[in-house]
């Protein structure tokens, strides 16, 4: 690759962020797609793989005596601190990565070179796994009120919308086109979700070009048509997900929001979710808190609060809850929009759908939901997640927030989702990985022009193939609580929103629970199933033997040996762990450098499944087992004793103890 100035640097140190004393010595490789760090330690040869597309920022810090530090921050919240001995090498790596992390053409992205060794047929089948027309059928469409419209064939009306859209039956092509001219980027109101039980629906659009007084008859008719498509209600809610001030400011630019007086039978409502710039800064602030070096509990909670992140998550949830309630309890249809209708609108519509319909809480249903509300409706993946080099002001963690909303719901309803936290984390990873084609580009139209389906593989097929890893053993589709609409407590429960350490600190395994309940229960379930099968086989055999016996044939029955199960989850023992730094300021018992995250990474990710395609996910694997760890205690207990007297404080031995 022409952009790689130096493919290999030796004697590079990878610094452990939590205990800065611990650094691994190894070799750094730059390839066309990855940065790879291989540790020298002969027994582990631990590898850390980073995809170029995951790199968010690269920071070259002031050269120190030990070398030149390079800080790589990733979009999946991995943080890599390298110390490169030679300034020149460091500079070369820096310059190379700057270029590699910011591709200018789609063709440079990983998905165009990624080859999981599937044949053409398998690839095509993969793309057919999620089918939106099937999804609308599942909702019960078309029916007496809604029909499939071909008005956007060849993207004639709106180039960021899909070609196949459901609109009210009474909305003629004339009305649709007219309405589209009165909406930002021609994103006219179209169906997002139809609630079969009571005909209420969720529609989405962009803001109207109302300015201070403009009107559009067709747009008014369009909303009228949406209302008529729900015979059970005589009005619809129009939900503007922006703060009122932002919406008013838009009026000056000839945009704005619906005037209740001009539209018959609408109830207009603002739900203040902040814009992409506020969200970008908020995440930035929260990540800074995560990066603080040995903060106090107070620093951490203050920082978390000041970032406003959880407040924003709650705002999105509240909007989703409002809409879900309007649809399921009041039976009123809702039209949702923000400015362009591709960020906040996508968040809110998908949260509401998730609350309303248990199908979206299944593994496949969740993929459908993302396909519907995000991919097909033109969420700008490329701009928001910076896949190609572009305007940094366009970048914002919009879908990350949605994914976090799902996690917050999973925490509150442990039995309501078929999938587990790992599924969400892997989806987040692939939003940035550019390894699969689904989440590329800014619209369906672009994807079609790039012939994504012919040239890349589908993420959904990949996730589906590995679905065993993503199952939530606690999922109960039979329980009244998890069927139908999820009911959130009536009281506003702020404390239900928690910091998602499993996402934002996911690469600091030492901070995560050391044992996985999910994996344990899945293993138990699997074993139960095996036993079940074995019993069936035995019963079958018993039947045969009985038959043979009837024929007076002597059969020496061989006692079947109860098979030895590989034993589910010896995870306990493999959950090695070493104490971390408990004495503050990184200077505890000097003899052993406390380490982080020594547990078997198999607990976190099933390595075999990921090795081929997600090398970066299985990175940071540390095979050190607990038993080994104990046995590798330095035998020289006496030698590592803090030396006798060197303390400054005569009265206390603390300084001696800590610094020796």
Partner 1 sequence: MEFSDLIRTRRAQAKLLRGPEAPPLRGTLCLTGHHLLLSPGPQATSELWLLLLRSVDSIEKRVASDSGTITLRCKDLRVLQLEIEGVEASLDIARSIEALSSLESVITSFPFFYRPKGLRLGDAWHFHPPERYYKRVARETNAWRLSEVNEDFSVCPSYPRAVIVPRSVDDGALARSARFRQGGRFPVLSYHHAPSGTVLVRSSQPLTGPQKRRCAEDEELLRAVLAGARPGARGFIVDTRSSQAAKQARMTGGGTEAKAAYPGWKRLHRPLERGQPLQESFVRLVEACGDLQQSTDSWLRRLEGCCWLAHVKEALSTACLAAQGMEREGACILVHGAEGTDSTLLVTSLAQLILDPLSRTMAGFQELVEREWIQAGHPFQLRCAHSAFSHARPKHEAPTFLLFLDCVWQLGRQFPLSLEFGEGLLLALFEHAYASPFGTFLCNSERERCLCEVRTRTHSLWSGLNQPKEQRKLRNPLYAPNPLAIWPSVELQSLRLWQGLFLRWIRPPEPSEVAWEKVWQIVTDKEKTKLSQPTVSASEPQL
CA dist., res. 183 & res. 485, Å (int): 32
Could you tell me if 602 and 608 are in contact, meaning their C-beta atoms sit under 8 angstroms apart? no
Q: Which is nearer to partner 1, 43 or 639 (CB)?
A: 639
Cα 656 to Cα 660: distance, rounded to the nearest angstrom: 6
Cβ–Cβ under 8 Å, residues 5 and 95: yes
Q: How far is the CB of 543 from partner 1 (least distance, A)?
A: 11
Residue 548 beta carbon to partner 1: minimum distance, rounded to whole angstroms:
9
Contacts of 625 (CB under 8 A, 6+ apart): 573, 574, 576, 600
> Does 342 show up as a binding residue in the annotation?
yes
**Is 577 annotated as contributing to ligand binding?**
no
Q: Are residues 291 and 407 in contact, defined by beta-carbon separation less than 8 angstroms?
A: no
Q: How far is the CB of 301 from partner 1 (least distance, A)?
A: 3
Measure the CA–CA gap between 407 and 589, rounded to whole angstroms: 38
Contacts of 381 (CB under 8 A, 6+ apart): 374, 375, 387, 399, 431, 439, 440, 441, 442
* Minimum distance, C-beta of residue 646 to partner 1, in the bound complex (Å): 12
Judged by beta carbon, residue 231 or residue 492, the one nearer partner 1 is 492
User: Which CB atom, from 248 or from 531, has the smaller least distance to partner 1?
Assistant: 531
| Of 254 and 584, CB closest to partner 1 | 584
Rg (CA), the chain: 29
Nearer to partner 1, 142 or 272 (CB): 272
Q: To the nearest whole angstrom, how small is the minimum distance from the Cβ of residue 503 to partner 1?
A: 11
Nearer to partner 1, 194 or 507 (CB): 507
d(CA 433, CA 427): 10
Backbone φ and ψ for 419, nearest 5 degrees, come out as -105, 170
Please identify every residue annotated as catalytic: 338
Q: Is position 343 annotated in a ligand binding site?
A: yes
Is 341 marked as a binding-site residue?
Answer: yes
> Does the annotation flag 276 for ligand binding?
yes
Q: Give the C-alpha separation, 27 to 111, whole Å.
A: 26
Helix axes 173-181, 217-228, angle to 10 degrees: 120
**CA 117, 120, 122, 126: dihedral to nearest 10 degrees?**
100
d(CA 114, CA 299): 43
Report the residue number, 329 or 539, with the smaller CB distance to partner 1: 539
Does the annotation place 344 within a ligand binding site? Answer: yes
Containing 126, the helix (H) or strand (E) segment is helix 120-128
**CA angle, 124 as apex, 193 and 400 as ends, to 5°?**
45
Min dist CB 421 to partner 1, Å, is 14
Min. distance of Cβ 482 from partner 1 in angstroms?
8
Nearer to partner 1, 7 or 492 (CB): 492
Residue in 658, 576, 568, 557 with CA at minimum distance from that of residue 621: 576
Q: Is 584 annotated as a binding residue?
A: no
What is the Cα–Cα distance from 658 to 647, expressed in whole angstroms?
A: 9
Quote the least distance from Cβ 198 to partner 1, whole Å: 25
CA-based max dimension of the chain? 98
| CA–CA separation, 611 and 634 (whole Å) | 34
- The Cα–Cα gap between 70 and 84 comes to 7
- Under 8 Å between Cβ of 214 and 262: no
Q: Residue 64 CB: number of other CB atoms within 10 A?
A: 9
Binding residues: 275-276, 338-344
Binding residues for substrate: 275-276, 338-344
């Amino acid at each position: 690759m022409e952009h790689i100035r130096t493919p290999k640097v030796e004697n590079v140190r990878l610094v452990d962020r939590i205990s800065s004393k611990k650094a691994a010595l190894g070799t750094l490789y730059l390839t066309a797609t990855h940065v790879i760090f291989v540790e020298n330690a002969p027994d582990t040869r631990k590898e850390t793989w980073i995809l170029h597309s995951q790199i968010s920022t690269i920071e070259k810090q002031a050269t120190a005596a030990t070398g030149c530090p390079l800080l790589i921050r990733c979009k999946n919240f991995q943080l890599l601190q390298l110390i490169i001995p030679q300034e020149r090498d460091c500079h070369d790596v820096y310059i190379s990565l700057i270029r590699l992390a910011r591709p200018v053409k789609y063709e440079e992205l990983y998905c165009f070179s990624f080859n999981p060794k599937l044949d053409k047929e398998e690839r095509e089948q993969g793309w057919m796994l999620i089918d939106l027309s099937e999804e609308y059928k599942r909702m019960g469409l078309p029916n007496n009120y809604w029909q499939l419209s071909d008005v956007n064939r060849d993207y004639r009306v709106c180039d960021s919308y899909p070609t196949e859209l459901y609109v009210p039956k009474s909305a003629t092509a004339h009305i649709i086109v007219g309405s589209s001219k009165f909406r930002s980027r021609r994103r006219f109101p179209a169906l997002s979700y139809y609630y079969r039980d009571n005909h209420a629906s969720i529609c989405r659009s962009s803001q109207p070009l109302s300015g201070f007084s403009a009107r559009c008859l067709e747009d008014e008719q369009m909303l009228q048509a949406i209302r008529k498509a729900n015979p059970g209600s005589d009005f619809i809610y129009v939900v503007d997900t922006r703060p009122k001030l932002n919406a008013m400011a838009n009026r000056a630019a000839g945009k704005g929001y619906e005037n209740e007086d001009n539209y018959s039978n609408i109830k207009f409502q603002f739900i203040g979710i902040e814009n992409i710039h506020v969200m970008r800064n908020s995440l930035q602030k929260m990540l800074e808190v995560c990066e603080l070096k040995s903060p106090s509990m107070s620093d951490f909670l203050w920082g978390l609060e000041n970032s406003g992140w959880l407040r924003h998550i709650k705002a999105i949830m509240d909007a989703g809850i409002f809409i879900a309630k309007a649809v399921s309890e009041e039976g009123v249809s809702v039209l949702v929009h923000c400015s362009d209708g591709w960020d906040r609108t996508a968040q809110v519509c998908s949260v509401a759908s998730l609350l309303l319909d248990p199908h979206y809480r299944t593994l496949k249903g969740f993929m459908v939901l993302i396909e519907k509300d995000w991919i097909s409706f033109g969420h700008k993946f490329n701009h928001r997640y910076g896949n190609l080099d572009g305007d940094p002001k366009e970048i914002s963690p919009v879908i990350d927030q949605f994914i976090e909303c799902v996690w917050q719901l999973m925490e509150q309803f442990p039995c309501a989702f078929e999938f587990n936290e790992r599924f969400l984390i892997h989806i987040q990873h692939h939003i940035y990985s550019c390894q699969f084609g689904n989440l590329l580009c800014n619209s369906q139209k672009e994807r079609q022009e790039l012939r994504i389906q012919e040239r890349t593989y589908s993420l959904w097929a990949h996730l589906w193939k590995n679905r065993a890893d993503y199952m939530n053993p606690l999922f109960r589709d039979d329980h009244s609580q998890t069927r139908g609409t999820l009911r959130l407590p009536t009281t506003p429960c702020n404390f239900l929103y928690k910091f998602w350490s499993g996402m934002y600190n996911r690469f600091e395994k030492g901070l995560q629970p050391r044992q996985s309940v999910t994996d344990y229960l899945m293993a138990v379930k699997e074993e139960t199933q095996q036993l079940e099968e074995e019993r069936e086989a035995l019963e079958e055999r018993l039947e045969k033997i009985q038959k043979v016996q009837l024929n007076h044939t002597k059969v020496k029955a061989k006692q079947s040996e109860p098979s030895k199960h590989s034993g589910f989850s010896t995870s306990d023992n493999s959950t090695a762990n070493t104490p971390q730094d408990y004495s503050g300021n990184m200077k505890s018992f000097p003899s052993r450098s406390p380490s982080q995250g020594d547990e078997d990474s198999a607990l976190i990710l099933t390595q075999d499944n990921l090795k081929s395609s997600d090398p970066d996910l299985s990175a940071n694997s540390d095979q050190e087992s607990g038993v080994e760890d104990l046995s590798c205690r330095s035998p020289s207990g006496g030698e590592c004793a803090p030396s006798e007297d060197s303390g400054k404080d005569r009265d206390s031995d603390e300084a001696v103890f800590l610094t020796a």
